[in-house]
């Protein structure tokens, strides 16, 4: 389970639960496009900034 949280001065706070990491990234991008100024993803008991979470999904062999 991945909890995506976005903060926006205009729209307030948003929280969305996703099952797959790729869905969490997609939701994060959507929230950023909608004007959220801060987006985080909570997974495995940790809170990640979006960029750090995305980097954790990259296979270093690629």
Residue 62 domain-assigned (yes or no): no
- Which residue, 33, 31, 27, 29, is CA-closest to 7? 31
pLDDT above 80: residue 20 = yes
Residue 37 domain-assigned (yes or no): yes
| pLDDT score of 42 | 92
| pLDDT score of 56 | 66
| pLDDT score of 19 | 95
Tokens of 28: 């994060």
- Counted domains in the chain: 1
Residue 61 domain-assigned (yes or no): no
Question: Which alpha helices (H) appear in the chain, and where do they start and end?
Answer: 21-33, 50-56
Give the integer Cα–Cα distance in Å for 12 and 6: 8
Residue 24 domain-assigned (yes or no): yes
Residue 26 domain-assigned (yes or no): yes
Which residues span the domain enclosing 34? 2-56
Greater confidence, 59 or 49? 49
């Amino acid at each position: 389970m991945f909890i995506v949280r976005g903060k926006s001065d205009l729209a307030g706070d948003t929280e969305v639960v996703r099952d797959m990491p790729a869905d969490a990234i997609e939701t994060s991008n959507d929230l950023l496009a909608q004007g959220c100024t801060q987006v985080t993803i909570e997974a495995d008991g940790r809170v990640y900034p979006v960029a750090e979470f995305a980097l954790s999904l990259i296979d270093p062999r690629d």
